[in-house]
Amino acid sequence: MKQLMAIERFCLTGHTVALAFGLAGLLLVLPNPDFILALPSFGQSAFGLSMSGGGVVYILLGAITMAVYAYRVLGLQRALTFMIPAIVLSLGSELLGTSTGFPFGEYGYLSGLGYKIAGLVPFTIPLSWFYLGLACYVLARAGLESIRLPVWARLVGAIAVGSLMLTAWDFVLDPAMSQTPYPFWEFKQLGAFFGMPYRNLSGWFGTGAVFMTVASLFWGKAPLNLSRDQLTVPLAVYLINFAFGAVITVAQLDARFWIPTALSAFLGVVPAIALWWIAKPNATMAQLETVLQVRELEEPPIVPVGVSEK
C-alpha cells in the first residue's frame, strides 16, 4: 500500500510540474522568441521536444494518478468499471463528434496531444475524460453521502453534480485550448458562447452523464464511505486542472473571458470544495484507538491448541 501511495504522489507531483512547465512555456517562452533563439542548439531541440510532448506527459501522469488512486482507495472492480466505460464511451463520443459534429459541434484536433486514433482523436483525450471524470464523480458521490437523502437521490445527484463539474471545467479548457495563440483543437465555426457552440456544453454534460451512469450501475448502491483525507487527491487533480485552463484563458484572451472563468469557478470549483468539506471528517487517533478497543472486547481470546483455560 505504501508503494502505491508513493507512486500516486510521484505521478501527481509530475502532473502538477508538467502543467506548470506548460504554463511557463505557453505564457512566457513562446511569446518571446528571442529567448528561444538565444538557447544553444541542444537547448532549442530539448525545448521543442518538451513543448510538443508536454500535453501527452501531463495527461498520462494525471491518468496514472487517478488510476492508482482508484485501485488503492476504491478497489480493482470499481477502478476498472469506471475506467473502461469512461475511456470507451468518451472515445466514441469524440470520434462521432470529429466525424459528424454531434454532439460537440464542428471541430477538429491539431497537433500536440499525441497519436490520433483513426486520424481524428488523440489517444490522450479519452484518458483526460477518465481522470477528470473520476475526480468529479468521486467527489460528488462521497460528498452527497453526508446529506440525508434517499439512496436513489444520492446516486442520481452524484451523476448530475459530477457531470456539471466536468462541464464547468470545459468553460476554461476550451477557450484556453482553441482560441489562444497556440491552440490544440479548433472549432470550424465560432459558437455563440464565447466562441464555443452551446451544443458543445450539452455534449460535455451528456458524455459525462452517460459514462458516470454506466459506472454507477456497476458500482451499485453501497456507499463509498470516504473521508476528506481520502478525497484530497481528486480535489487536488480538479483544482490543478482548473487552474491550468483558467490562467491561460485569463492571461491570453480578452477581459470578456473572465465570465466563463467565473462560471467555471462557481459551477465547478465551489461545489468541488464544498463536497470535499461536507464529507465525513478524518478519523482521529483517539477514534481509531476506540474502534480497536471495541474490536478487542468483541473478539474472544485465541487459545492455543492443546492448552485449556483455567
What is the tens place of the pLDDT at every residue in 94-139?
999 999 999 999 999 998 899 999 999 999 999 999 999 999 999 9
Top pLDDT among 48 and 74 is at 74
| Residue 35 confidence (pLDDT) | 73
CA dist., res. 228 & res. 148, Å (int): 18
Give the confidence band of 24 by pLDDT, cuts at 50, 70, 90.
confident
Mean pLDDT calculated for residue range 273-283: 89
Chain segment 56-68, per-residue pLDDT in tens: 999 999 999 999 9
Q: Does position 48 have pLDDT exceeding 70, yes or no?
A: no
* Mean pLDDT estimate for the chain: 89
Share of the chain above pLDDT 90, in %: 76
Question: For 280-292, how does the pLDDT look when each residue is reduced to its tens digit (9 = 90+)?
Answer: 887 543 344 433 4
Query: Which residue in this structure is represented by grid cell 437521490?
Result: 153
Segment 229-256 mean pLDDT: 97
Three-state secondary structure of the chain: CHHHHHHHHHHHHHHHHHHHHHHHHHHHHCCCHHHHHCCCHHHHHHHHHHHHHHHHHHHHHHHHHHHHHHHHHHCHHHHHHHHHHHHHHHHHHHHHHHHHCCCCCCEEECCCCCCEECCCEECHHHHHHHHHHHHHHHHHHHHHCCCCCCHHHHHHHHHHHHHHHHHHHHHHHHHHHHCCCCCCEEECCCECECEECHHHHHHHHHHHHHHHHHHHHHHCCCCCCCECHHHHHHHHHHHHHHHHHHHHHHHHCCHHHHHHHHHHHHHHHHHHHHHHHHCECCCCHHHHHHHHHHHHHHCCCCCCCCCCCC
What residues have CB less than 8 Å from 15, skipping those under 6 apart?
Answer: 58, 61, 62, 65, 237, 240
Residue 239 has what pLDDT? 98
> What's the confidence (pLDDT) of residue 283?
55
Q: According to the model, what pLDDT value does residue 294 have?
A: 39
Q: What's residue 41's pLDDT? A: 78
